[in-house]
Structure 1
Amino acid sequence: MRRIFSTMIALSMLWALQAPASALARDYIYIVGSSTVYPFSTTVAEQYGKTYGFKTPKVESTGTGGGFKLFCAGVGVEHPDISNASRAIKKSELETCAQNGVKEIVEVKIGYDGIVVANSKKAPAVKLTRKDLFMALAAEIPDPKGGTGTVKNPFKTWKDVNPSLPDVKIEVLGPPPTSGTRDAFMELAMEEGALEIASLKELKKSDEKAFKKVAHSIREDGAWIDAGENDNLIVQKLLANPNAVGVFGFSFLDQNTDKIQGAEINGVVPTFESIAAQKYPLSRPLFFYVKKAHVGSIPGIQEFVKEFTEDKAWGPQGYLADKGLIPLPDAERASMRDAARAMKVLAMP
Structure 2
Amino acid sequence: MSFTKLSVSALALAAVSATAAAARDQISIVGSSTVFPYTQAVAEQFANNTGSPSPVVESTGTGGGMQIFCEGIGESHPDLTGASRAMKASEWEKCVENGVTDVTEALIGFDGLSLAVSRDNDYDWDLSLGEIYLALAAEVPVDGEWAANPYSQWSDIDSRLPATDIVVLGPPPTSGTRDAFVELAMHAGCEELDYVANGDFDGDWIDENCSRMRTDGPFVEAGENDNLIVQRLDSDQNALGIFGYSFLYENMDKLKGVKIDSVEPDFDTIADKSYPVSRPLYFYVKNAHRGVIPGLNEFVAEYMSEDALAPGGYLSERGLVPLNDERRAELQERVLDGVAMDPKE
Aligned to 1:97: 95
1:34-183 superposed matches below 5 A = 34-124=32-122, 125-143=124-142, 145=143, 147-148=144-145, 150-183=146-179
The residue type paired with residue 158 of structure 2 is: N
Structure 1: segments with no counterpart, 5+ residues: 1-21
Aligned-pair CA distance for 1:207: 4.4
4+ residue segments displaced more than 4 Å? none
Aligned-pair CA distance for 1:28: 1.2
Aligned to 1:192: 188
- Tell whether the 8 Å contact from 1:141 to 1:214 is kept in structure 2 after alignment: no
Structure 2: segments with no counterpart, 5+ residues: 1-19
What is the CA–CA distance in structure 1 between the aligned matches of 2:201 and 2:60, rounded to whole Å? 37
What is the CA–CA distance in structure 1 between the aligned matches of 2:21 and 2:103, rounded to whole Å? 22
Aligned-pair CA distance for 1:295: 1.1
- Tell whether the 8 Å contact from 1:48 to 1:304 is kept in structure 2 after alignment: yes
CA RMSD, 1 decimal: 1.4
**What is the DSSP-based 3-state SS (H/G/I as helix, E as strand, rest coil) of the residue aligned with 2:96?**
helix
1:316-335 superposed matches below 5 A = 316-335=311-330
Match of 1:265 among 260, 266, 290: 260
Aligned-pair CA distance for 1:348: 1.1
Aligned to 2:338: 343
Percentage of matched positions with identical amino acids: 48
- Tell whether the 8 Å contact from 1:138 to 1:214 is kept in structure 2 after alignment: no
What is the CA–CA distance in structure 2 between the aligned matches of 1:90 and 1:234, rounded to whole Å? 27
Residues 41-96 of structure 1 deviation map (CA, whole Å, 9 limit, x = unaligned): 01101111122332211100011111001001111110110000111111110011
What is the CA–CA distance in structure 1 between the aligned matches of 2:284 and 2:197, rounded to whole Å? 35
The residue type paired with residue 126 of structure 1 is: W
Aligned to 2:15: none
TM-score normalised by L of structure 2: 0.91
- Larger RCO (CA under 8 A, 6+ residues apart): 2
- Tell whether the 8 Å contact from 2:118 to 2:237 is kept in structure 1 after alignment: yes
Aligned-pair CA distance for 1:308: 0.8
What is the CA–CA distance in structure 2 between the aligned matches of 1:309 and 1:296, rounded to whole Å? 17
Aligned to 1:221: 216
Tell me if 1:304 matches 2:275: no
The residue type paired with residue 194 of structure 1 is: C
What is the CA–CA distance in structure 2 between the aligned matches of 1:304 and 1:134, rounded to whole Å? 41
Aligned-pair CA distance for 1:123: 0.6
Aligned-pair CA distance for 1:200: 2.2
What is the CA–CA distance in structure 1 between the aligned matches of 2:79 and 2:138, rounded to whole Å? 38
**What is the DSSP-based 3-state SS (H/G/I as helix, E as strand, rest coil) of the residue aligned with 1:343?**
coil
Aligned to 1:14: none
**What is the DSSP-based 3-state SS (H/G/I as helix, E as strand, rest coil) of the residue aligned with 2:152?**
coil
Aligned to 2:281: 286
What is the CA–CA distance in structure 1 between the aligned matches of 2:325 and 2:225, rounded to whole Å? 31
The residue type paired with residue 25 of structure 1 is: A
